[in-house]
Amino acid sequence: MKFESILYVILIVLLGFGFALRIVSQGKQEIPKGVPIKLAATIKKEPRIYESNQVIEIGDGKVYVDLYPRFKVGDKILLSGEVDSEGRIFRPKVEVLGRRRSVSSFFSNIRLKISQNIASYLPSREATIVSGTVLGVDTIEKSFRDDLVKTGTIHVVVVSGQNLMIVAGVFLSLVRYFGRRKSLALACLAVITYAFLTGFEAPVVRASIMVILASIAIYFGRQMMPIWSLILAALLILFIWPQAIFEVSFQLTFAATLGIMTLGSWLTRILAGPVSSFLPAPSINSGQAVLRVYPERSRRAVGNPPTAVTRLIKGFIADNAAIATSAYIFTAPIILFYFGRISPLAPLANILVAEAVFPVMILGFLVALTSLVFSPLAQILSYIAYVPAYYFVKVVGFFAKIPIEQVSFGKGSLLAVLIFYLLIFILFAIWTKKPKSS
Amino acid sequence: MDQKTKIFLTLAVIFAGLGLLLIFSFQNLGKFRLIFCDVGQGDGMLLVSHSGKQIIVDGGPGTKIVDCLSANMPFWDRTVELVVATHAQKDHIEGLLEVLARYKVGMIAETKVNNSSELYRAWQKAVENEKAKVYVAKAGDRLSIDAKQGQTLSIDILWPDAQRLSQWQASPPSDLNESAIVLRVNYGPSTSSGFCAYLTADIPKETLQGLIEKECQILKIAHHGSKTGTNEEILNEVRPRLAIIQVGKNSYGHPTKEVLDLLRSKAVKILRNDTNGIIEIKSDGRTFGAKSAR
């Protein structure tokens, strides 16, 4: 333990130092501002599709064009138009010169193909939910997007660390079939595949690193000191992508993971308390304990069938509720900081939709993969995925309709964020402090 | 409970849910539905026959039409029997590209009158990729859509006529609206009696005036309520009970006061997408009822 602590400290100091060095030497490709330009460029990031236009990122500039024709990653284009003072180019003349094939354009096209396939199997909102949980989407029809934002559930359909945690969790839960090592390897492989599917964009890769390290940490239990591992992972990421510290996605992933690891694991134990009191005492050192990314679910021991059912349901609901709540509480300050508004009903909406995320994701993965090889089977699977996705859409629709004021304060206030986190940590410390007598 | 039972129970719950959804989706059958989607400043309509066949007339700008289709079609139905592109302007065909990407389309009706825009080229490419039957609409044709349970649904093409169409295909008119497809939808025990609706796209009033042969309950006001699309003669001949204006936020002043006043003076009820949201008309072949989201 001592040796490990020293190792951690050294690593953290080194990485912190490296990060500081790197951040000084960062630059971004700049395009000239406030002048007419003619510019040849290759599209590196998937264009974002909005209600009435596409937005293509070129260097630090943004190009706004009509919805059609659609542009793809790898397209070499010649732009002529005028850049405004903020680097935006509206409705320029765009000519496609050719295509450059690369690894990223290959994966981007697979991803595009999958989301087109899913869109052709399911009604639009359900398709957004399914491809959102599997791939992460940018293209969300405006009124649905508003509903998702209003109910605080948008993080489920954009790629987030939480989804990656679920992917890893599913594979780690296979431990009883494969054993520790294999299930851990499978989990990491799954996370990497997921990162591939989501386009290997920096935010996703960063989340994968964080999730993989955190999974390993939780998996090995206390010796690895999960929270330190998370900080280590974060520093490693910042070392490679220093500018990430200013990005919302990074901050949200970090906060959500931290929340799930700390408050989440505590809440699961608390919520499982009343449930486990129904259980026969768990066998000690059975060697069969199921380890998960999530604090383990409280249904290890096999009891009588009727209690097993209630326990299963309670355990499942309790776990999801714990994870959703903790992620929500820890990300709330960041969301307030950037967006300045949040719905008081969001935690409830999150808890309810969390129950559907798991089945949507598993089925969504199957749909995505089969759609590339055998479409009729994918169509059938998507009908099954439709059920939880429909439930998701209805929950969001229901909560979005409730006319309740969104809490709006603290936009852009760093002090509010700090106070919020301080309060969370103080409360957490008070509640988790063990009584002296024990 | 062992793993197998759990999986079995989960699947059972999912299939039970699927069954319930199926039952809900079937409840809408048996009547003809004419839905005016809220697509913003543009036209976008979904027609559903009494046995569940779908026809889309225009797709509006953007991709909003898709949400409207999802809300009004059963989830398992990924086929649209007919898509009509009245004319190749953004506020009528942009959304149709998304429709072609998401649904299997049986037949596409269009004029093939060229609009030399990037959007039109993208449309042509999408039509080609869809591999659907392409029908060039010309006046005098009647499309039989559905004839079941003693009710028939048919569409009469009223405009453009064959002669002008071939002229415009060679060189497009200065105003593309002139070449727009005008339709009359008939639903009832026979094609001559029963419920009918005029779907007028953006056609100029001078043209529309000469196309009316009979009275209909519904008139979709031409050109989003512009004064170029409606006059008193048209209202006198159609004698509509309900006028629909497909309009969104715009800078053209649509719908114009002239048109609204004219409709009011004839005591025609007005429903418009910008204030009423999605508008749905249901008919049993004799009577009809209309409801709107707002």
Rounded Cα distance between A292 and A132, Å, is 24
A267 and A412 co-located in one domain: yes
Helix (H, G, I), strand (E, B) or coil at A229: helix
pLDDT at A249: 74
* Arithmetic mean of pLDDT, B287-293: 92
Report whether pLDDT(A23) > 60. Answer: no
Q: Chain B contact for A68, CB < 8 A?
A: yes
Contacts of B101 in chain A (CB under 8 A): 116, 119-120
Structure-token match 């079609």, residue found = B73
pLDDT grade for A279, boundaries at 50, 70 and 90 = very low
HSE value, Cβ hemisphere, 13 Å, CA-based, for A15: 19
Contacts of A121 in chain B (CB under 8 A): 78
* Arithmetic mean of pLDDT, A15-44: 72
A191 and A329 co-located in one domain: yes
Strands A93-99 and B151-159: unpaired
pLDDT at A322: 74
- Do the domain assignments include residue A5? no
A184 and A275 co-located in one domain: yes
* Arithmetic mean of pLDDT, A2-8: 65
Q: Chain A contact for B294, CB < 8 A?
A: no
Report whether pLDDT(A320) > 70. Answer: no
Report whether pLDDT(B203) > 70. Answer: yes
Closest chain A residue to the Cα of B72, Cα to Cα: A123
A61 and A170 co-located in one domain: no
* % of residues, chain B, pLDDT over 90: 77
A325 and A410 co-located in one domain: yes
Better-predicted residue by pLDDT, A231 or B174 = B174
Number of structural domains, chain A? Answer: 2
Rounded Cα distance between A321 and A348, Å, is 9
Put simply, the answer to whether B102 touches A69 (Cβ < 8 Å) is no
Put simply, the answer to whether B63 touches A141 (Cβ < 8 Å) is yes
Residue A53, domain extent? 36-101
Report whether pLDDT(A162) > 70. Answer: no
- Do the domain assignments include residue A252? yes
| Domain's final residue, options A101, A129, A145 | A101
Put simply, the answer to whether B14 touches A68 (Cβ < 8 Å) is no
Better-predicted residue by pLDDT, A357 or B235 = B235
What does A335-385 look like in DSSP terms, one character per residue? HHHHH--B-TTHHHHHHHHHHHHHHHHHHHHHHHHHHHH-HHHHHHHHHHH
Rounded Cα distance between B222 and B276, Å, is 18
Condensed to tens digits (0 to 9), the pLDDT of residues B94-151 reads 999 999 999 999 999 999 998 888 899 999 999 999 999 999 999 999 999 998 888 8
pLDDT at A275: 45
Report whether pLDDT(A291) > 80. Answer: no
- Do the domain assignments include residue A142? no
Report whether pLDDT(A287) > 50. Answer: no
A173 and A291 co-located in one domain: yes
Q: Chain B contact for A120, CB < 8 A?
A: yes
Rounded Cα distance between B294 and B292, Å, is 6
Q: Chain B contact for A283, CB < 8 A?
A: no
The least confident of A204-208, B70-74, B272-276 is: A204-208
The token pair at A42 is 């290759």
pLDDT at A295: 37
Strands B182-188 and B195-199: antiparallel
- Do the domain assignments include residue A109? no
What average pLDDT is seen over chain B?
Answer: 91
Q: Identify which of A253-262, A384-393, A408-417, B27-36 has the greatest average pLDDT.
A: A384-393
Put simply, the answer to whether A384 touches B14 (Cβ < 8 Å) is yes
Counting one residue from chain A and one from chain B, the pairs whose CB atoms sit within 8 A come to: 82
Evaluate whether A68 touches B97 at the Cβ level (below 8 Å): yes
* % of residues, chain A, pLDDT over 70: 68
A218 and A334 co-located in one domain: yes
Helix (H) or strand (E) run with residue B44 in it: strand B44-48
A265 and A409 co-located in one domain: yes
- CB count, 10 Å around CB of A284? 6
Contacts of A173 (CB under 8 A, 6+ apart): A183, A290, A292
Q: Which of B15, B71, B122 sits opposite A68 (nearest CB)?
A: B122
Better-predicted residue by pLDDT, B74 or B181 = B181
Structure-token match 């659609």, residue found = A70
Report whether pLDDT(A308) > 60. Answer: no
The least confident of A51-60, A412-421, B104-113 is: A412-421
Q: What is the pTM of this model?
A: 0.76
Put simply, the answer to whether B103 touches A120 (Cβ < 8 Å) is yes
- Do the domain assignments include residue A348? no
Q: Chain A contact for B164, CB < 8 A?
A: no
Could you tell me the domains of chain B? 30-292 (3.60.15.10)
A159 and A274 co-located in one domain: yes
Report whether pLDDT(A304) > 80. Answer: no
State the ipTM, two decimals: 0.79
Put simply, the answer to whether A67 touches B123 (Cβ < 8 Å) is no
Report whether pLDDT(A21) > 70. Answer: no
Contacts of A390 in chain B (CB under 8 A): 17, 21, 75
Interface list for A 241-280 with B (CB within 8 A): none
Contacts of A310 in chain B (CB under 8 A): none
Distance from CA of A303 to the nearest CA of B (A): 8
pLDDT grade for B282, boundaries at 50, 70 and 90 = very high
Q: Which of B73, B76, B94 sits opposite A68 (nearest CB)?
A: B94
- Do the domain assignments include residue A359? no
DSSP state of A407: B
- Do the domain assignments include residue A107? no
Better-predicted residue by pLDDT, A405 or B278 = B278
Give the phi and the psi of residue A272 in degrees, each rounded to 5: -75, -20
Q: Chain B contact for A122, CB < 8 A?
A: yes
Condensed to tens digits (0 to 9), the pLDDT of residues B60-75 reads 998 899 999 998 998 8
Q: Before A388, cis peptide (omega within 30)? A: no
What average pLDDT is seen over chain A?
Answer: 74
Q: Which of A66, A308, A387 sits opposite B17 (nearest CB)?
A: A387
Evaluate whether B170 touches B195 at the Cβ level (below 8 Å): no
According to DSSP, the residues that pair with B182 across neighbouring strands are: B159
Rounded Cα distance between A332 and A327, Å, is 8
Report whether pLDDT(A347) > 80. Answer: no
Helix (H) or strand (E) run with residue B33 in it: strand B32-36
| Domain's final residue, options A66, A84, A101 | A101
| Domain's final residue, options A77, A101, A125 | A101
Q: Which residue type does B250 have?
A: N
The dihedral of CA A282, A285, A286, A287: what is its sign?
Answer: positive
Better-predicted residue by pLDDT, A92 or A164 = A92
Condensed to tens digits (0 to 9), the pLDDT of residues A115-145 reads 899 999 999 999 999 988 887 776 778 888 8
CATH number of the domain encompassing residue A72: 2.40.50
A212 and A311 co-located in one domain: yes
A168 and A239 co-located in one domain: yes
What does A85-104 look like in DSSP terms, one character per residue? TTSEEES-EEEEEEE---HH
Closest chain A residue to the Cα of B38, Cα to Cα: A143
Q: Which of B75, B101, B118 sits opposite A122 (nearest CB)?
A: B75
The least confident of A182-196, A230-244, A310-324, B250-264 is: A310-324
Q: Which residue type does A342 have?
A: I
Reported for A273-282, long-range contacts at CB under 8 A and 24+ positions apart, including other chains, are: A275/A311, A275/A314, A275/A315, A275/A318, A278/A303, A278/A307, A278/A310, A278/A311, A279/A303, A279/A307, A279/A311
The least confident of A88-102, A412-426, B86-100 is: A412-426
Evaluate whether A381 touches A370 at the Cβ level (below 8 Å): yes
Better-predicted residue by pLDDT, A1 or A197 = A197
Give the phi and the psi of residue A382 in degrees, each rounded to 5: -70, -25
- Do the domain assignments include residue A196? yes
A163 and A57 co-located in one domain: no
